[in-house]
A = this chain, B = another copy of it.
Amino acid sequence: MAKRPADPTNGNAPAARQVPMRDFSRSLPMSLLRAREAVMRQFRPSLREHGLTEQQWRILRALAAIDGAEVTELARTAFLLGPSLSRILRDLEARNLIERKTAKADQRRSMVSISKEGVKLMASVAPSSEAIYAEITQRFGARKLAELQEMLGELELCLASAEARDEITDDA
């Protein structure tokens, strides 16, 4: 486990001065944050030109792939929290990029789908978006990219299972 470089100012004194922890610029959360920011920085200008934020784009992509979904399902797919999604859907609906209709069987649920305008907008953004992705793939290497994504998936899974265990423990 994480051994740190010796700290001459400290030793093992428990109560007094704090050890500088593992250089936090190399912590996992920071590495992930910086990598993601580096990637998103490539896409944001293009999205912005089309009047879309990253999250709005995620929602449209998710909707385009499934031809209608409930809000909760959409939240899971686009990896957004409910409140964020609620706001964004309100705005996207006002811009006529999506459509909603409450389900007949269950008035609580609402089905969301992309509108014709939404599809048109996607068509205008997709080429540039794909080009950027292709550029990244080429620069970083397709094989390496696949490896990276594989590891990211494993990390996610390994931590998700940690939480499942916590929940069981919590059950009082």
Q: Is A119 an interface residue (CB 8 A)?
A: yes
- Interface residue count on the A side (C-beta < 8 Å): 81
Nearest to A36 among chain B residues (CB) is: B32
Contact, CB under 8 Å: A20 / B65 = yes
Determine the main DSSP class of A at the interface with B.
helix
For the complex formed, measure the closest distance between the CB of A164 and the CB atoms of chain B, giving whole angstroms.
12
Contact residues in B for A135 (Cβ distance below 8 Å): 162
Contact, CB under 8 Å: B148 / A136 = no
Q: Could you tell me the distance between the alpha carbons of A40 and B119 in the complex, rounded to whole angstroms?
A: 34
Q: Could you tell me the distance between the alpha carbons of A147 and B154 in the complex, rounded to whole angstroms?
A: 13
Contact, CB under 8 Å: B155 / A140 = yes
Contact residues in B for A33 (Cβ distance below 8 Å): 36, 79
Contact residues in B for A37 (Cβ distance below 8 Å): 79
Contact, CB under 8 Å: B123 / A66 = no
Contact residues in B for A127 (Cβ distance below 8 Å): 1
User: For window 27-45 of chain A, which residues contact chain B by CB distance below 8 Å?
Assistant: 27-43
Contact, CB under 8 Å: A65 / B19 = yes
Q: Is A14 an interface residue (CB 8 A)?
A: yes
Q: Is A96 an interface residue (CB 8 A)?
A: no
